[in-house]
């Protein structure tokens, strides 16, 4: 119960931050979410002329009061989806987010199933057959000689 | 694990490896090396077609509709590319001499279209350009770096790429008489 409350509390704390980030994005956070089209890195790791051009466009968008989604949408319209460091959580982009989770879940199910099959297929420990009474008597006699 | 289940798992695993191997072979076999590399290999490839929006907003340019009818000079540029200024200005000057016989087309690549339009005005570049923001068309022609300037003859074959200053007049003469 305490755990559920903690999760709900964390979600309540994070939601306003995410909303603020969407409504009032900063250049620093967008630099980490947008790629430089000629360097293969995010903008924050590049000072190439092409990267600087996009940084200027982002700053202009922020100054004009655009939301993070609007700024990203404009960049996608100019450069295509590859300008985003991470695929968007809609349409075909969902696959990139969902596939690793599906793969991990499938692997966990397979390993669990395999382990269950392996453990249930093991032969039970053999039960020792009772000794012949004569042999048991003889064994007792032999052991008694050593006492 | 029961025998049929193990056999199925093994067949699936082998199938998966075979499929990945086939994909790898297909990818290697169909790896388009780009026009630049084809030219270096001594080939004269057919100019890859594109159909892109014009930067000035006046419709589109479909290269396939021009290719094979008129020689073409294709200039890949961007407003952030400093050496592109010099080369585009040279093409603009050449257009005054060859513009009636050769089609000059710019391809603004990996660029913001608003900046590109400003750049054209500032440097007096008047030949039409299309916008290839994603750089997908540039990749087909050989990718970065830019500027990249290609010469396509009347048959639609790429006969050369500008690599040195003297290439421009030489290729212009060659394709204008093709």
Please report, for residues A39, A106, B4, B24, B83, the alpha-carbon distance to residue B10 in angstroms, rounded to integers and kept in the order given.
Answer: 43, 17, 10, 21, 58
The C-alpha atoms of residue A64 and residue A57 are separated, in whole angstroms, by 11
CA distance to A120, A140, B74, B96, B127, per residue, from A127 (Å): 18, 22, 87, 102, 94
Q: How confident is the model at residue A2 (pLDDT cuts 50, 70, 90)?
A: low
- Asked if B82 lies within 8 A of A80 by C-beta distance, the reply is no
This complex has an ipTM of 0.80
* Contact A80/B at CB under 8 A: yes
Give the pLDDT confidence score for residue B174 in this predicted structure: 96
Contact in structure between B123 and B88 (CB atoms under 8 Å): yes
| Angle at CA of residue A90, ends A86 and A95, nearest 5° | 70
Chain A nearest C-alpha distance from B111 (Å): 7
Of A50, A82, A121, the CB nearest to B80: A50
Tens of pLDDT, residue by residue over B146-163, are: 999 999 999 999 999 999
Partner residue facing B1 (CB), from A49, A57, A114: A114
Q: Tell me how close the Cα of B74 comes to any Cα of chain A, in angstroms.
A: 20
pLDDT single digits (tens) A49-94? 999 999 999 999 999 999 999 999 999 999 999 999 998 777 777 7
pLDDT beyond 60 at B127: yes
Predicted confidence (pLDDT) per residue in B159-176, tens digit: 999 999 899 999 999 999
Average pLDDT over residues A100-120: 90
- Whether residue A37 lies within 8 A of chain B, CB to CB, comes out as yes
Map residue B103 onto helix, strand or coil.
strand
How far apart CA B51 and CA B65 sit, in angstroms, is 9
Diameter over CA atoms, chain A: 104
| Ramachandran category for residue B44: left, alpha or beta (phi over 0 → left; psi -120 to 50 → alpha) | beta
Reported pTM: 0.75
H helix or E strand, kind and range, residue B4: helix B3-29
Give me the pLDDT at residue A12, please.
Answer: 59
Is residue B115 over pLDDT 80?
Answer: yes
More confident residue, A145 or B105: B105
Distance from CA of B107 to the nearest CA of A (A): 14
Kindly report, residue by residue over B50-85, the tens digit of the pLDDT.
999 999 999 999 999 999 899 999 999 999 999 999
Strand pairing class (B103-109; B51-53):
unpaired
Q: What is the DSSP string of A3-69?
A: HHHHHHHHHHHHHHHHHHHHHS--HHHHHTTBB-TTTSSBGGG--SHHHHHHHHHHHHHHHTT--HH
Is the alpha carbon torsion for B82, B85, B87, B88 positive or negative? positive
Distance of CA B4 to the CA centre of its chain: 54
Determine what percent of chain B is predicted with pLDDT higher than 90. 86
What is the per-residue pLDDT for B134?
A: 96
Q: Say whether pLDDT at A119 is over 90.
A: no
User: Which pLDDT score is estimated for A17?
Assistant: 61
């Amino acid at each position: 119960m305490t755990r559920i409350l903690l999760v709900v509390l964390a979600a309540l704390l994070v939601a306003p931050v995410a909303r603020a980030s969407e409504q009032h994005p900063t250049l620093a956070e967008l630099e980490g979410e947008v790629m430089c089209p000629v360097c293969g890195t995010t903008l924050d790791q590049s000072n190439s002329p092409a990267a600087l051009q996009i940084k200027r466009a982002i700053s202009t968008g922020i100054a004009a009061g655009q939301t993070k989604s609007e700024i990203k949408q404009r960049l996608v319209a100019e450069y295509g989806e590859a300008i985003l460091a991470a695929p968007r959580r809609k349409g075909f982009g969902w696959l990139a987010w969902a596939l690793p989770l599906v793969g991990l879940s499938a692997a966990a199910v397979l390993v669990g199933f395999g382990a269950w099959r392996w453990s249930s297929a093991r032969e039970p420990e053999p039960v020792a057959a009772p000794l012949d009474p004569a042999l048991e008597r003889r064994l007792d006699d032999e052991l008694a000689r050593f006492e | 694990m029961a025998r049929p289940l193990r056999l199925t798992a093994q067949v699936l695993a082998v199938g998966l490896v075979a499929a990945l191997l086939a994909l790898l072979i297909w990818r290697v076999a169909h790896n388009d090396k780009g026009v630049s590399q084809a030219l270096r290999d001594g080939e004269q490839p057919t100019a890859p077609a594109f159909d892109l929006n014009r930067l000035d907003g006046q419709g589109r340019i479909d290269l396939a509709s021009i290719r094979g009818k008129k020689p073409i000079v294709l200039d890949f540029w961007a407003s952030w590319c400093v050496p592109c200024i010099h080369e585009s200005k040279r093409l603009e000057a050449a257009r005054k001499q060859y513009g009636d016989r050769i089609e000059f087309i710019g391809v603004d690549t990996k660029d913001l279209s608003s900046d590109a339009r400003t750049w054209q005005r500032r440097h007096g570049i008047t030949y039409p350009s299309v916008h290839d923001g994603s750089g997908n068309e540039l990749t087909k022609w050989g990718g970065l770096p830019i500027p990249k300037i290609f010469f396509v003859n009347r048959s639609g074959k790429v006969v050369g790429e500008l690599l040195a200053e003297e290439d421009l007049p030489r290729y212009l003469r060659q394709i204008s008489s093709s």
